[in-house]
Structure 1
Amino acid sequence: MRFFAFALTLILLTSPARGDDIFVDNVRGDDRNRGNSSHFSEGENGPIASIAKALRISRKGDRIILTNTGVPYKESITLQGGNNSGWGFSPLTIEGNGAILDGRAPVPPEGWKHVQGNVYCFAPTYKSYHQLYLDDRPATRVAIKDMGELDTLQPLEWCLLDGMIFFCAEKDRGPGSYRLSYTAHRTGITLYEVRNVKILDLTVQGFQLDGINVHSNCYDVELAGITSRGNGRSGVSVGGASRATLTKSLLGDNGTAQLRGEGFSKTEVIESTLLENTAPATFQKDARITIDGQEVNAAPVAETAQVARPLPQPNAPASPLRR
């Protein structure tokens, strides 16, 4: 017993108080670097270029510090297992510093096919959910049940039907004359079997499924200062038996729900805003969600519901998410 107590004490004394810092800069960084420094005059110790590389080299309790360069990080990342976890006293942390993680890609002009009138279609890789962006903002999406209703699309409106994106151009213009992008990457951040993780001050947008998916068996996950917007399904999804906290965050402009929970997951929302501008605030399937201490007991809504054409609102202020 004395030996066991001594060994435990030795482990605790020799363990680091917290992990290392890994610096990421998607403009000036280089994935051949070690990421030990935010400075660029220290050779291989300078920042690395991608979050994915930072996660590959991270160890338990490390802190990944993103430089907000003004240029979005175009990645889809996964945190999985022990090396992407932390300790109770030293969580693995991604500090976004206001940076943007963006999953969109331009729709290639040659990808559009004419359907009828001013309506064109594009076939994305994934066939469900999705968002279409016009000039960096989600375009107006409408509910279309079948091909016979395509003539009801108004200029600059779109729909998702049979896995295809249909877009109505203005008269005498083709879709290639617009700056259109779509949700090309699957999920912004996926967490799987991790413990003690924090993601702070980060915007996640333009992903086909979810901005952040706390997939399964994740515990003590904190999302703070998160903006998750314009994703095809939800801003944040928590599933399996996971436990997550969403604090001082903003979710909106997402396709079927701003926050979704399924399985035996529990999500605690604190001092956050879930905008119901394009979809319900929450979706639940056997999961528990509490918002500022009040449990959400609403029946689940169908996730296949489409966003109806909004009523015109002259002089209405722009959504805080649409920048």
Structure 2
Amino acid sequence: MRFFAFALTLILLNSVARGADIFVDNVRGDDRNRGNTSSFSEGDNGPIATIAKALRIARKGDHIILTNTGVPYEESITLQGGNNSGWEFAPLTIEGNGAVLDGRAPVPVDGWKHVQGDVYCFAPTYKTYQQLYLDDRPAKRVTVDDISQIDTLKPLEWCLTDGMIFFCSEKDRGPGSYRLTFTARRTGITLYEVRSVKILDLTVQGFQLDGINVHSNCYNVELGGITSRGNGRSGVSVGGASRATLNKSLLGDNGVAQLRGEGFSKTTVIDSTLLENTAPATFRDDAKITIDGQEVGDAPVAETAKALRLLPQQGAPASPLRR
């Protein structure tokens, strides 16, 4: 009898620990639904529309499953505290299925102001760590020390100076004739005081600060199969006393660093690629970063990346945005 009771308790605990599946579809879902099934024939049990709603109703150890509709999820989401955590043996999981989380917005045509010649300027919401996209790819950025050097911009180049985006169009074309977007949302995914979280198979792009920010007091966080690209500051940032693992992922085209660590954080990178095409592979402020078993030291970042074979190999894509 005691054995039967013990076995029943284990079964019940295991059932609870596995958590529930929450289905999200940003094209056909509805946030009035419960997200219990991916089927649209199940009435209000069908998929919900946003990841933010899924996180609001999630409980410890749940599994949030995104439908890759081919349309980006245009959200900025936060995982915080117990309900957005899991157990070591049953983590809270966001399964991206190759979907894209996108932080961009179109530059309003009437937002451009003529400066001189073929140069125009635009005032973004956030004045630092910006990116300007041309046809869904980061446009060529150049460094301009002050506004007096704006005339050095060449066609299709841009810079960020005095909190303004300056863009040089081609002759006889105004900026409104291009498909230009900027990084309008702050951070793609923010994690704060969570435990045992997995984020898998997801592309995060076009956010003003970081694609993913493991902010503080986060433990047993795994980022697997992540592509984080074209963000204003970094692809992934890990801070505070957080512990995170980046596995089989690709970071590139970010503004300041591909992977950023600060505080007492520890980041373990396994079988991943950190491109140095637009910024150093890593930036470390007291934090510990280990890449394939080797700790990143205080040597120049370019030399460290070369030693760790993180530069693109022959035949590899020059940019993750061109995959």
- With the length of structure 2 as denominator, give the TM-score of the two structures: 0.91
Deviations 1:69-95 (A, max 9, x none): 000000000000000000011000000
Measure the CA separation in 2 of the matches of 1:9 and 1:242.
36
* Residues 268 and 318 of structure 1: CA distance in aligned 2, closer, same or farther (over 3 Å): closer
Aligned AA (1:185): R
Partner of 1:40: 40
2:153 matches 1:149: no
Measure the CA separation in 2 of the matches of 1:300 and 1:82.
39
Partner of 1:232: 232
Aligned AA (1:32): R
Partner of 1:63: 63
Q: What is the Cα deviation at residue 268 of structure 1?
A: 0.1
Measure the CA separation in 1 of the matches of 2:192 and 2:152.
43
Decide whether the 8 Å contact of 2:253 with 2:320 is kept in 1.
no
Partner of 1:304: none
Measure the CA separation in 1 of the matches of 2:144 and 2:9.
62
Partner of 1:210: 210
Query: What's the secondary structure of 1:226's corresponding residue?
Result: strand
Q: What is the Cα deviation at residue 298 of structure 1?
A: 2.6
Name the % identity: 84
* Residues 273 and 150 of structure 1: CA distance in aligned 2, closer, same or farther (over 3 Å): same
* Residues 9 and 136 of structure 1: CA distance in aligned 2, closer, same or farther (over 3 Å): same
Deviations 1:270-303 (A, max 9, x none): 00000000000000000000000000003688xx
Query: What's the secondary structure of 2:322's corresponding residue?
Result: coil
Measure the CA separation in 1 of the matches of 2:76 and 2:6.
39
Decide whether the 8 Å contact of 1:18 with 1:61 is kept in 2.
yes
Deviations 1:218-271 (A, max 9, x none): 000000000000000000000000000000000000000000000000000000
Partner of 2:241: 241
Partner of 2:124: 124
Q: Which runs of 5+ in 2 are unaligned?
A: 302-315
Partner of 2:20: 20
* Residues 102 and 148 of structure 1: CA distance in aligned 2, closer, same or farther (over 3 Å): same
Partner of 2:258: 258
Q: Which runs of 5+ in 1 are unaligned?
A: 1-6, 302-315
Deviations 1:100-150 (A, max 9, x none): 000000000000001111110000111100100000000000000001111
Measure the CA separation in 1 of the matches of 2:192 and 2:320.
31
> RMSD across aligned C-alpha pairs, in angstroms?
1.8
The structure in which a higher percent of residues are helix is 2
Measure the CA separation in 2 of the matches of 1:258 and 1:318.
14
Partner of 1:179: 179
Decide whether the 8 Å contact of 1:31 with 1:50 is kept in 2.
yes
Partner of 1:306: none
Measure the CA separation in 2 of the matches of 1:288 and 1:224.
19
Partner of 1:291: 291
Aligned AA (1:19): G
- With the length of structure 1 as denominator, give the TM-score of the two structures: 0.91
Decide whether the 8 Å contact of 2:219 with 2:242 is kept in 1.
yes
Q: What is the Cα deviation at residue 321 of structure 1?
A: 2.6
Q: Which runs of 4+ in 1 moved over 2 A?
A: 7-15, 298-301, 316-323
Decide whether the 8 Å contact of 1:284 with 1:299 is kept in 2.
no
Q: Aligned ranges for residues 88-99 of structure 1 at < 5 Å? A: 88-99=88-99
Decide whether the 8 Å contact of 2:102 with 2:204 is kept in 1.
yes
Q: How many residues align?
A: 303
Aligned AA (1:147): I
